[in-house]
Amino acid sequence: MERTPCDLLVFGANDVVTWVDGVAGDSVAVLDGKVVAVGDQASLRAAWNPAEETDASGSVLVPGFVDAHTHPVFAVGRAEEFDWRAQGVDYLEIARRGGGILSSVKNVRECDEGRLTEIVEGHFQRMLGLGTMACEAKSGYGLSLDAECKSLRAIRDAAELTGMEVHPTFLGAHMIPAEHRDAPDVYMDLLCEEMLPRVADEGLARAADIFIEEGAFNLQQARRYLERAKELGFALRVHADQFNELGGVQLAVELGAECVDHLEALTDAGLEALALGEKKTFAGLLPAVPHFLRQSIDAPARKLLDAGVPYFVATDFNPGSCYTPSLAEAAHFARVRLCLTASEALYGVTAGAADSLGIGDRRGRIAPGYEGDFLMLDLPDIHHFGYAFGECPVM
């Protein structure tokens, strides 16, 4: 039989996690950047003639990770603040000392666009090295028309420079900036009448996001912002129920948001809304955040999964509340703090994350037609995923 040429054969893995029924084996063939076959080595060798081969013995092949919640556009970290928090300094005092989200805003506003792009490029490189092949990336440390557009252009340009597949999200409603502290409605006007329309016109983001929380935005402001964003064609992603339940989950479900993230303070009413929502709104689980913030409360992940709510696991990579770009690490925390199994955690950083971004038909799984971006993990079997921590299994 004539063998069909392909670019790459990765063969002999201990397992291939495909997330597709009926697609299984120990080897994968790739042509033109796409998976063309998954199966056992002998049958793939009989059908395909590869230009290159990789021996995957001793490893597990999994889909390339997808990080569906990141904040990579910050100019400097906030390590000093991490020390202050260790010493018991509270949120308000941190803000008084010049820390918190507004310190990141000051730094981003002052940072020149070329330099900011280099910094984001560095973050994407680290993520790629840790197995993240696609990500959602939010602005949100600019909080002015110019600084938000600059942040979104930095995301776009850094994506091009690194090859990371990036899905940009406008998070102008991350916090009320200092200059509008006493007149939040003026900032809401600016968001709805100038910033969202400009970002839409320039095609700088596919989704819009808001932080619904005490000290950030209330439910009424969120409704106005999200309805305006929806009208302008943005997909909606929402931060809600992190510390306080303000009804943000129900609002997100009502407006057909793609996801609502955090959920540590989720109530039964919110859970019910997610379970019964017509357009399935994903639960975004960010289990490394409460760890980083030394909180004892976690999202009720088991209840969400039992209720059939679609979910993903993400890093929430940012300088203030979760300084890791590693999805393997997030998966470890999903196993320890959310009591997910290895499979559930892996599904959350691959298929679940891809589905939440609307790219689940070409990413997050290993099957013919999918992107050839899969990972060799240095693990004997899938049960070891998220078992070790402090080291990266990506080979």
Q: Please list, in sequence order, all residues whose beta carbon lies within 8 angstroms of the beta carbon of residue 122, skipping any fewer than 6 positions away.
A: none
Beta carbon nearer to Zn ion, 260 or 328: 260
H runs (alpha helix) in 97-172: 101-110, 113-129, 145-162
Q: Is the dihedral of CA 19, 336, 87, 173 positive or negative?
A: positive
| Interacting residue ranges for Zn ion, rule: CB under 5 A | 316
Query: Tokens 């949100």 sit at which residue?
Result: 140
Q: Are 210 and 239 in contact (CB under 8 A)?
A: yes
Beta carbon nearer to Zn ion, 63 or 348: 348
- Bridge partners (DSSP) of residue 54 are 10
Q: How far is CA 208 from CA 136, 360, 365, in A?
A: 11, 20, 26
Beta carbon nearer to Zn ion, 102 or 307: 102
C-alpha span between 98 and 110 (Å, rounded): 15
Query: Tokens 């983001």 sit at which residue?
Result: 205
Q: Are 313 and 340 in contact (CB under 8 A)?
A: yes
Burial of residue 341 (number of CB atoms within 10 Å: 0-12, 13-18, 19+): middle
Beta carbon nearer to Zn ion, 213 or 316: 316
C-alpha span between 251 and 274 (Å, rounded): 10
CB of 253 to Zn ion, least distance (A): 19
Beta carbon nearer to Zn ion, 30 or 289: 289
CB of 316 to Zn ion, least distance (A): 5
Beta carbon nearer to Zn ion, 261 or 344: 261
* Closest-approach residue to Zn ion (CB): 316
Beta carbon nearer to Zn ion, 13 or 101: 101
Q: How far is CA 349 from CA 239, 336, 343, 354, in A?
A: 18, 15, 10, 8
Strands 282-285 and 48-55: unpaired
Q: What angle do CA 126, 261, 379 make, to 5 degrees?
A: 45
Beta carbon nearer to Zn ion, 139 or 250: 139
Strands 4-11 and 27-31: antiparallel
CB of 312 to Zn ion, least distance (A): 13
CB of 158 to Zn ion, least distance (A): 18
CB of 14 to Zn ion, least distance (A): 35
Q: Is the dihedral of CA 48, 49, 52, 56 positive or negative?
A: positive
CB of 92 to Zn ion, least distance (A): 21
CB of 238 to Zn ion, least distance (A): 10
CB of 72 to Zn ion, least distance (A): 11
CB of 290 to Zn ion, least distance (A): 13
C-alpha span between 238 and 249 (Å, rounded): 8
Beta carbon nearer to Zn ion, 327 or 342: 327
